Every structure is written in structure tokens, then in C-alpha cells.
Structure 1
């Protein structure tokens, strides 16, 4: 067997993901994800964040497949209330966006905003997921910041 290289045409690199975080947000390494963007921390308050992840699927995997999985996951959260969803186009790419309100055992009431898209390559389909979390309080600037960050997403196949 000949030497195999990662990335290559057989094992493509993950897509390029460009995001514009709000002023003051910082980056952080988190397990099992590409990383996270974090709002400025405030003592006694949940820190709003957006976790960025990519998962590899077989060729032919479609946005409707991951959309059903996201909706099922969010619906299973404690005291979950799913808000309406519709297909969204962000920077020319189709996304499934869903927001849920639920009760986190340690953090209390949270809003979770999940956006997913599928990047098709010859050898694989990559699911890009942006998951934002914050406290769902009235006039919450954190939720607006998460919306803005997700709206800035520019995802392209790896070169």
C-alpha cells in the first residue's frame, strides 16, 4: 500500500470558516471542537459563547439529515422550548438555524442558537456547526451578538 497523506484528495482538509466576532470577544480552545468564541466574562453571569465544530460524514449527506438531528437534540434538552425555524442563506450557503430555550442543570435558563451547513467534497461531506449559548434575558445584547456572529459566517471548501 502506498503512503497516505492527510489532508489529500482522499482525505480532504476541513472547510475554511471565517467569522467576525463582536468587539471584546476572545477565542478559546475547547475539547471536541475547532474552538470557541467567548463574550467578555462578567462575575456571577453565564458567559455567552459560540462553539465551532466540524464533523465528517459520507458523501451524499444532506442538510436535511443534520437538520433533523439538530432538532431532535434540542427537543430533548431539559424543559426545551423550540422556536420556529426556516431555511437561511448566509453568504451564499444554505443553513439550518434553530433556537431553543431550556434549563441547564448548573447554569439555569439558557438560550441555545444552533446553525448548521454541509460542505460537499468529492470524498466526504463536512457538517459545520455553530452553537451559541447565552442567558435569555430581556434586551440581551449577547443573543444579538450571537446572531451577528453567525450571520458573518463564510464557509468554503478546503483548497
Structure 2
């Protein structure tokens, strides 16, 4: 009979700890299939800006360029997608792939989606940390600036042992 296994443990490491600094007025939200989300102030008849934080486990050896290609392909397939330039970014000492797309959502209309991904390596696994922010792209948009600021504050470190 096999010995009892525990999560987290060396064999099954905990997800990394993710710290972000949300802008004033943003609130926490539990959402399915994510570790959490932060929501900007809602406006009557407008789209609520948000950042969804997710973690997904991969096999050891999974690299940032692997998830970067997947993110770019997903964003390129959005309706009427226009991908804005990207370059490697270092946030709090960790390399990230950051990409922004403008597209047309069937119900919400014109949206900007800002996606930032990094890979946290454990001995037995790799965790993809993804922050995805969405808002309506408006002239001088404070919502998009708030999303940029929140992502720029991301600090990913080892989770509890």
C-alpha cells in the first residue's frame, strides 16, 4: 500500500505566492478556474475593468517561450484582433512575456486585453502564472493605466512548503 501523499509537499509543491498592489477602489473577487481576480470600480452601462490571476501546472522544463507562443496565438484569434508590440519584460527580478491586444467582444464591444505570463520553476514541476487584464480602451484611459500598474507590481515567490 502506498504512503499517504500531501499537497503541498516536495513531491507536490504549493503554487507560488503572488503579490500585487491593486489601485485604489479595486476589489477582490473569487472567479472559477482562477486563484482570484481584482475588479475596478463599476460604471453604469460600462465594462468593469478587471485583472484575473491564474496558475497552471506544467511538466519540468516548460519555459517562458512556450507559454508566450500560446498567449500570442490565443490573442491573435480574438475577433478583429490587433496585437500591439511586445518585448521581454522583467518585473521584480522575474522575466515575463507581456502582450496587449485590442479586439471586438460580441457583447461588450471594443476591449483591450493585457496579458502577462511568467514561469515559476520547481524541482518537479513548472507553474505558469498569468495575469490577464481587460477593459474598454478609452482615450487617456485610466483603467488601462491601472491594469499596467497592477501588473507592474507583481511579485511571484515560492509558496508555502
- TM-score, normalising length from structure 1? 0.99
Inter-partner Cα distance in structure 1 for 2:153 and 2:113 = 18
Whole-angstrom distance in 1 between the partners of 2:138 and 2:9: 46
Unaligned runs of 5+ in 1: none
Moved over 2 A (4+): none
Cα distance in 2 for partners of 1:157, 1:107 equals 37
SS at match of 1:55: strand
TM superposition shift of 1:157: 1.9
Mind listing any 5+ residue stretches in structure 2 that lack a counterpart? Answer: none
**SS in structure 1 of the partner of residue 52 of structure 2:** strand
Aligned to 1:141: 142
TM-score by length of structure 2 reads 0.98
Cα offset, 1:124, TM superposition: 0.5
SS in 1 for 2:22: coil
CA distance in 1, matches of 2:151, 2:124: 27
Residue 122 of structure 1: aligned partner = 123
- SS of the aligned residue for 1:21 comes to coil
